[in-house]
Amino acid sequence: MTNADGGMALSSKGSSGAKGAITSAVNLHYRSSPLGAMDIQPPAPLFNTPSARRREALRQMLARQAYRRGNFLLASGRRSEHYVNCKPVSLSGAGATLLAPLLLEQVHSGTRAVAGLTLGADPLVSCVAMAADLAGRRLDALIVRKEPKGHGTGAWIEGPLPPPGARVTVLEDVVTTGNSCLKAVQRLREAGYAVQEVVAVVDRQEGGHAALAAAGLRLKSLFLLEHISTHPAPLERQP
C-alpha cells in the first residue's frame, strides 16, 4: 500500500501503547539556506502529530542532511551519482525522535530484539528499543560486530541476548545490495535466532530487495531513494 506521496503506507500496529507513553518530540521547521539548516521549535506532543506529518518531517530532514548528488564510491564498490548517509540524522536528537516511532511501527509485535550491523544500525536499534520501553513493549537492542571481539568472550553480538529461537528484526539505515543486512542476519541465525525481516530507513532499489528475498527475508522501508532525492542538497563530488 502506498501513501498519497508515493511512499509506503506505514502500519499502526504496536503504536497504540506508545501514544500514552511518549509525550513529546521536536517540532521541526526548516528554513531556506545553502546548508539546509533547521529552526527547532519547543517540544510538541509527538502522538498529537499525525504519523504522516512526522514522516514528512523526517523525509525533509533526510533530503537535506543525508542525501548528496555527485560522483561517489559506495561501500558495495559501485560508483553512483546518489549518496545517502543517514548518520547525521539518526545520531541527532531530533532525527532519532522522528525515526524511533516510525521504525517501531514496522517491527513485528512478536519480536524480542532489534539488531543490526555496526555502525549504521547502532543509533537505530538504540532509539527503537528506548521507544518500545516507553511504550511498555519488551524489545531489546543488539549490535552485530563486523569482527569478533578481540578479547574476553570474543562475541560477535553485543547486548542483552534473548533466548535461542527468539524472533529478531534487523534494522538498517540504507539498503543497496543488501550485503550488510545479510552479514548481520548470518551471525544472528548462527546464534540461533529467527530472523525473518529487515526494516530500513532508505531502500536504494539496487538489488537489495531481491537479495534479501532469496535469503527468506522480507524488506520493509520507510522511504525509497526517489522520496529523499526530490530536494537534494548542494552538489558534492569526491576528489
Is the bond preceding residue 117 a cis peptide, omega within 30 degrees? Answer: no
Rounded to the nearest integer, the mean pLDDT of the chain is 81
Is residue 147 situated within a structural domain?
yes
Strand partners for 155: none
Is residue 133 situated within a structural domain?
yes
Strand partners for 73: 79
Is residue 125 situated within a structural domain?
yes
Is residue 235 situated within a structural domain?
no
Is residue 9 situated within a structural domain?
no
Please state, for a pLDDT cut of 70, what percent of the chain lies above it.
75
Domain count, the chain: 1
Is residue 76 situated within a structural domain?
yes
Domain extent at residue 137: 16-228
Is residue 7 situated within a structural domain?
no
Q: What pTM, to 2 d.p., does this model score?
A: 0.77
CATH assignment of the domain containing 194? 3.40.50.2020
pLDDT value, residue 50: 66
* Whether residue 5 has pLDDT greater than 60: no
The alpha carbons of the chain give a radius of gyration, in whole angstroms, of 18
- Using alpha carbons, select from 166, 94, 149, 84 the residue that is nearest to residue 127: 94
Please state, for a pLDDT cut of 90, what percent of the chain lies above it.
66
